Structure 1
Amino acid sequence: MSDVEIRQSIPRMTASRQVVPPQWALTERLLIDQLDKAAIEFVARYTRADGTLIWRQDWPGMDGSDDPYEGFMNLALLYMLGGSSKLHELARKIWEGITWQWTEYGQIHREFDSYYDWMHHGEGYLYVYFLGLAGPVTLKDRQRAVRFAGMYTGEDQEALNYDTEHKLIRSPITGSRGPQFELTAEDWSTHRGILDDYLAPYEDIPGVDFASGKCQWSNDAVYADIIRMMNERMTRGDVPLNLNATGLVANAFLHTGEEKYRSWVLDYLSVWEKRTQQNGGIIPDNVGLSGEIGQYNDGKWWGGYYGWRWPHGFMTIIEPLTNACMNAVLLTGDMSKLDLARKQLDANWALRKEQDGMWVVPNKHFDTGWTDYREASPKYPVYLWIMSMADEDLERIERIPRDHDWNEVIVPKLSGTDKKTGRNTKHYIGNTQPWFQYIRGLNPGYPQQILDANIRLVEQQLTKMRSEAGDPLNWTNQYSEDDFSSIHAWQEMCPVYMESLIQLTLGGPMHISHGGFQHARVRYYDAEAKRPGLPKSVAALVKELTADSVILELVNISLFDMRSTIIQAGTFGEHQFKEAHVLNEEGAIIETTSVNAQWLLVDLPAGTGVTLRLSMDRFVNTPSYDMPWSDREKNVLLEGRKL
């Protein structure tokens, strides 16, 4: 579309209030600028000109292809928010480079991981979802989305991961080479030293004291027994972790709009709802190839791969459930699709007990019953509440006792749990609770605090990256069991993290790190540059969310340039704006514009700002990666020879 066509087809309004840029706006633009520069330096330090990573010559085992993707996926996400256009080019080149490199290592086949579980697939393929948001979508994006989804819908004859009759994914270990019913000692070779400090996957491994909470994977005899028992009990049939595959199939829907992808997501979620009902309201963690719960596990509903017993317990149960339920709401607008995750949170809460003066809930189930009691995490009900804005989901958050000040902002670490607040900080995501407080009007100082913390995080990461330990030329050239950690080096050194920008500009929490879409209330496009993201010198702040509105402030900090910003209703255009009310400093309406569209164009003359209350209908549009400009090739796919 031409500029004229854009301006005729999208409702338009102009900001007229001259403002002195508030500190949050100046800091937000500073952070974007610093992240741009940090990203370029990060790429220069760790990649070659062809997008491959400066790393070792070999890498064994099935683990690892997710980690390089995780280290660089935020280039696309930062571009989507308004980062440099150079980041878009780099994000695509590096995705291609990593994919080629790990194909040469032997783990990626047909551009997709040969086989691994859906915790790790979920982490790595966030990169693919972010490239969709960083449009315009390319033919390669669309073709890959369809091909990857086909590996999980039963359409790909080389990767028959899905049983269309029983509606189950046939193994916890799947990928472009199909389900892996037998794992080898080499598959787990890179994990052995790490897993020495983890709980044993079974309670009856010869020579292992299960009660010690340790299991010597590095012991050859123990290791042989573990692999044998895994192949007997764990590698056939379905597990809740596989619900993260709904993201890959929903991604194909966002690219194509084809009904078969939506139907698959809903059918697969539905079959897990039935299994949960059959199991008395607790989701089982292992389902055999016949559909029988506990088929290869002596009838036990617990004890499956990444299930209730090993290795993480409830986290790897509730996360894929939450992701899948949110995906189903996105594709349908039906809030009852959240019920499976809601009911699991309720069932877990019903099992609570008082311990040391605090209410705690079980995270694991052993043969002896529920165990590993911990304080409940408010993160998952926050995700549900952001989708539904329902009182029942708010109550699920409010019932959790507060063991620390939920307004407190932290500078998160890479992974693990912050000792002071108890917050898990995977991918440097650690401030969901103080943002939740802010968006409800209970933490007014949050915007400046989180922006300051984000700048400190970037500074911290740059220091690590520039250190001698951060020099890839100092890393081991070939694999050794004593050097496993370097597979995570890019995440550990990466300075491109932007929790503050997601929360403040889009109006949503950061995605769930193990495969969750970046759900949020709004997103932006630069109308003049015809690209995703806030235009240069424009800052945005989502100040309030309700079930049918969002309050948003836009500021053009430049005193010289006019900017034109397109606001989209929902990350995927799933919402619809009704009216745009301009608010004065007291919050009173001084002007109203009829919108009735999923986009609104706001002109911001130099030095102006505007606060808008945008009324909206949520989840009424078909979600997609579509930008405000038409894509004549949206339904184009290449077809190969039929041999």
Structure 2
Amino acid sequence: MKRLRSTVPLGTPPAWAALQRRVFAELREVYRPVMERYVREDGSLLWPADPNHSGIDALDDAYESFQNWPVLYLLGGNRDYLDLSLREYDAITQQFSRYDSGHGHPMAVKEYEQGYDWFHQGEGYLFFYHLNLAAPDDARNRERSIRYAGFFMNEDPEAPNYDERLKLIRCAYSGSMGPAYRNFTGEPWMYEDWKAFYGLPFGDVPGIAEIEDIRRPEHAAAMGAVMRERMSRGDVIANLAATTMVANAYLHTGEEKYRAWVVEYVDAWIARAELNGGIVPDNVGLSGQIGETFGGKWYGGYYGWTWPHGWLSIGDAVLIAAENATLLTGDATYMNFARTQIEQLTKQGIFDKGMLRVPYKYGDPGLRHRYQLWIPGVLQTEDGEIVSRDGWFEFQPMDPRYPVHLWHMSQEPGDLALARLLRNHDNRDWERIVKKPAKDLGGHDAAWASYLEGLFPDYPEQILRHNLAQIEERLAFIRDDREDPADYTDSYLQKRNPVTVEGLLQLTMGAPLPMYNGGLVMASVAYWDMQAGRPGLPDDVAALVERIEPGRLVLALVNLNAEASRELRVKGGAFGEHRFVSARELGDSDAADDADAVGASAKTAIDDARFIIELQPSTRIRLELEVARFDNKPAYGDAV
């Protein structure tokens, strides 16, 4: 394994380096007020307060409360975050195994969701994936990973979720007890009032022409009956998030059966999109026919194009599937699955106020949509009707995470141009830090991409200062919190979690926040502290991925310690999926995009997924790395 050594004196530490280490320092023990005030001694949560709680929802919210704690450890944060995460996953799983699902079965069976949609499972099991990445050698993580994946590969006879012949998951609700058709039953299966924010799932239910009609209980019951009839059987697009659970088992074992399942299932949905004129349908019946229970319509499925979120949930599912297939095969053409869907929406877009607003939803052409919106920027008429055109509606700025994730995986110039085309001119979030109400404390993909292009040079300092403000805001909320625990909802802990990792992931690992509905960490580099024998940056070391270009990275590392050297191993990607071809040290005068800069060192051949850097006291090093992306078989762990 090649070894490099820093020799350039540090001088005045760069502002980004000092701020980065300050963020690590501020995060070191912010878990304490959370654990002391909001979690019981046995690790169980304060919600639900009723020991006889019943329902199928909210296990995901419980897990989400800790989803970024393992990531902080992985980055080099306090080991306590890993220990607490392992403990909390066990405690929450046990806690929700005691609650009834409403059908005579626990919410969690065999330590897993008994049967729920993958929009929510993806959100919840993001915590589990991060835990496996941070602690792949933990025996419980490995055993659960293999067992959980088996629920979707028919390896558990009590969970026949997958039709191997037709390549479909049999229900929108799936889990450790198989297709959960039972969770669509109950009389009446109501269309609840809170869903009024998302509009009507169907426009052909007698007596229901607009959202206000749902206020009448008989109408809510009628809509619920139609939803149950149409949505309870067959596969839906959101189920693509299940590919991460199977990919997770592959990363532990390397067994071909897991890779083959992911490829088979993703390929099946790609084929359905091709059959549907390029737009991915959101439903397929148990016979394999698109629109089987929807009168032949390719839209209307559970968490599909019409209801409740449209592209928000479809985009996550498609990006997750494309990323997983790319990672496991090394074939980046899988990103075309996501690219074509973004392009389809772009073609349907409406230019308004100097920007392109794309439709997030599709429903029966000719329907009128009028309901309370929960997101800004959606086109409406003067009297409040939501603009629709040829069945497409909810025209709005596209969230930048979709085109930025696409570009980050493909590194195609055309994808970066697509991200520019879809910029949000309402808030200009590609050139400034915009505070966003994101559950993962993220939302700054556009600004990060601009930085990597050289268009937002002080982004590292700005995002780190923003992260410090986020931490203080959450801690102040905890200090001033007077809410009665009896009034807590299922997400009470999410909005009190002071851990923020977006800036650290972007700057140190060259990685966007994972797709929130169940994506893996897709990174440019990862680190191993050689002296401490653990993942992440060593104490006093700061890292900055300055450029990400086709086959090329620029990485800066700084040792702020004036007395002690630091030794770390740099890995290509979170799973060793990238191979470093060569490294070349760049001098101060070398522009990051100038491959022939005067004063740069000669290239050092690496030809490995890893290399070692020794950082002398108060020194820095800046490297141009030639990278063969997705050239290695990905795996958990950091074995040499």
Pick from 26, 39, 61: which aligns with 2:18?
26
Query: Equivalent residues in 2 for 1:351-430 (5 A)?
Result: 351-355=348-352, 358-368=355-365, 369-400=391-422, 402-403=424-425, 404-410=427-433, 412-414=435-437, 425-430=438-443
Stretches of structure 1 lacking an aligned partner (at least 5 in a row): 1-9, 415-424, 477-482, 630-643
Looking at structure 2, the residues matched to 29 and 528 of structure 1 have their Cα atoms a distance apart, in angstroms, of 18
1:558 aligned to which of 557, 561, 568: 561
472, 478, 485: which one aligns with 1:475: 485
For residues 244 and 261 of structure 1, the distance between their equivalents in structure 2, rounded to whole angstroms, comes to: 14
Q: 1:235 to 1:520 in 2, by over 3 A?
A: same
**Letter in structure 2 aligned against 1:114:** Q
Q: Does 1:604 align with 2:615?
A: yes
With 389-398 and 326-335 compared, the bigger mean Cα shift is at 389-398
**Deviations 1:140-162 (Å, cap 9, x if unpaired)?**
11111111111112222111111
Is the 2:397–2:424 contact (alpha carbons within 8 Å) kept by the matching residues of 1?
no
1-structure distance, mates of 2:119, 2:528:
32
Task: Please report how far the alpha carbon of residue 29 of structure 1 lies from its aligned counterpart in structure 2 after TM superposition.
Answer: 0.7
The corresponding residue for 2:370 is none
Distance 1:446 1:296, change over 3 A: same
Work out the CA distance in 2 between the residues paired with 1:24 and 1:357: 34
Scaled by the length of structure 1, the TM-score of the pair is: 0.89
Partner of 1:125: 125
Structure 1 pair 356/27, CA: closer, same or farther in 2 (3 Å)?
Answer: closer
* C-alpha distance in 1 between matches for 2:191 and 2:17: 45
Q: 1:594 to 1:373 in 2, by over 3 A?
A: same
Q: How far apart, in 1, do the equivalents of 2:126 and 2:481 lie? A: 30
Question: CA–CA distance in 2 between the matches of 1:574 and 1:324?
Answer: 17
Tell me the amino acid that sits aligned with residue 18 of structure 1.
P
CA separation in 2, counterparts of 1:85 and 1:289? Answer: 47
Query: Counterparts in 2 of 1:3-18, with a 5 A limit?
Result: 10-18=1-9
How far is the alpha carbon of 1:182 from its aligned partner? Answer: 3.7
Please state if 1:538 is matched with 2:541.
Answer: yes
Query: 1:418 — aligned with what?
Result: none
CA distance in 2, matches of 1:325, 1:100: 33
Which one of the candidate residues 449, 452, 459 is aligned to 1:446? Answer: 459
CA distance in 1, matches of 2:213, 2:267: 36
Shift of 1:36: 1.7
Distance 1:434 1:89 in 2: 33
CA contact (8 A) 1:575 1:616 kept: yes
Stretches of structure 2 lacking an aligned partner (at least 5 in a row) = 100-105, 366-390, 591-598
- Residue identity (%): 39
Contact 1:236 1:288 in 2 (8 A): yes
Answer yes or no: is the 8 Å Cα contact 1:216–1:222 preserved in 2: yes
Give CA deviations for 1:362-383 in whole Å, capped at 9, x if unaligned: 2211212222222333321211
Distance in 2 between the 1:229 and 1:44 partners?
46
Q: 1:377, 1:130 → 2: CA distance?
A: 23
Contact preservation (8 Å) 1:61, 1:189 = no
Q: What is the distance in 2 between the residues matched to 1:601 and 1:187? A: 63
Q: Counterpart in 1 of 2:636?
A: 625
Provide the residue aligned with 2:469 in structure 1. 456
Q: Indicate if the aligned counterparts of 1:569 and 1:576 stay in contact, CA closer than 8 A.
A: yes
1:452 maps to a residue whose letter is R
Q: Secondary structure at the match of 1:539?
A: strand
Aligned partner of 2:50 among 57, 77, 81: 57
Task: Letter of the 1:57 partner, please give it.
Answer: D
Equivalent position amino acid for 2:177 in 1: R
Check conservation: 2:46, 2:485, Cα contact below 8 A: no
CA distance in 1, matches of 2:540, 2:188: 49
Partner of 1:633: none
Residues 191 and 220, structure 2, Cα contact 8 Å, conserved in 1: no
Counterpart amino acid of 1:616? V
CA shift for structure 1 position 14: 1.6
Does the C-alpha gap of structure 1 residues 73 and 62 become closer, same or farther in structure 2, counting only changes over 3 Å? same
My pick for the range that moved more, 372-381 or 533-542, is: 372-381
Aligned to 1:44, the other structure's residue is in SS state: helix
Aligned length: 597
Pick from 264, 271, 276 the counterpart of residue 274 of structure 1. Answer: 271
- 1:97 is aligned to 91
Instruction: Render the CA deviation track for 1:528-551: whole Å, top value 9, x for unaligned.
Output: 111111111111111111121211
Distance 2:187 2:24 in 1: 40
Amino acid at match of 2:563: F
Distance of 1:486 and 1:377 partners within structure 2: 27
Q: CA deviation at 1:35?
A: 1.1
Kindly tell me: are residues 358 and 413 of structure 1, through their superposed partners in 2, closer, same or farther at Cα, counting changes over 3 Å?
closer
Q: Note the C-alpha offset of 1:184.
A: 4.9
Q: Matched residues in 2 for 1:151 and 1:76: separation? A: 25
Residue identity matched to 1:243? L
Q: Give the 3 Å change call, closer, same or farther, for CA 523–401 of structure 1 in structure 2.
A: closer
Letter in 2 for 1:410: I
Are the counterparts in 2 of residues 465 and 494 from structure 1 also a CA contact under 8 Å?
no
Q: Distance in 2 between matches of 1:198 and 1:551?
A: 43
Conserved in 2, the CA contact under 8 Å of 1:60 and 1:187? no
AA in 2 matched with 1:475: P
Change (3 A) 1:14 1:354: closer
| Corresponding letter in the other structure for 1:248 | M
2:532 aligns with: 529
Secondary structure (helix, strand or coil) at the match of 2:362 reads strand
The answer as to 2:579 corresponding to 1:576 is: yes
Partner of residue 241, structure 2 = 244
**Aligned twin of 2:375:** none
Q: How much has 1:356 moved relative to structure 2?
A: 5.3
Distance in 2 (alpha carbons) for counterparts of 1:126 and 1:469: 30
Q: Distance in 2 between matches of 1:525 and 1:216?
A: 55
**Match for residue 509 of structure 1?**
512
Greater Cα shift, 157-166 or 582-591: 582-591
Matches within 5 A, 1:169-318: 169-184=169-184, 192-210=192-210, 212=211, 216=214, 219-318=216-315
**Cα distance 1:179–1:334, how it changes in 2: closer, same or farther (>3 A)?**
same
Give 1:444's aligned amino acid: P
CA contact (8 A) 1:135 1:627 kept: no
Structure 2 Cα separation of the partners of residues 504 and 222 of structure 1 = 51
Secondary structure of the structure 2 residue equivalent to 1:152: coil
2:604 to 566, 576, 593: 593
Residue 46 (1) aligns with residue 38 (2): yes
Code of the aligned partner of 1:322: L
- The one-letter code matched in structure 2 to 1:625 is Y
Q: CA deviation at 1:360?
A: 2.4
SS in 1 for 2:97: helix
Superposition deviation, residue 231 in structure 1: 1.9
| SS in structure 2 of the partner of residue 567 of structure 1 | strand
Q: Which runs of 4+ in 1 moved over 6 A?
A: 185-191
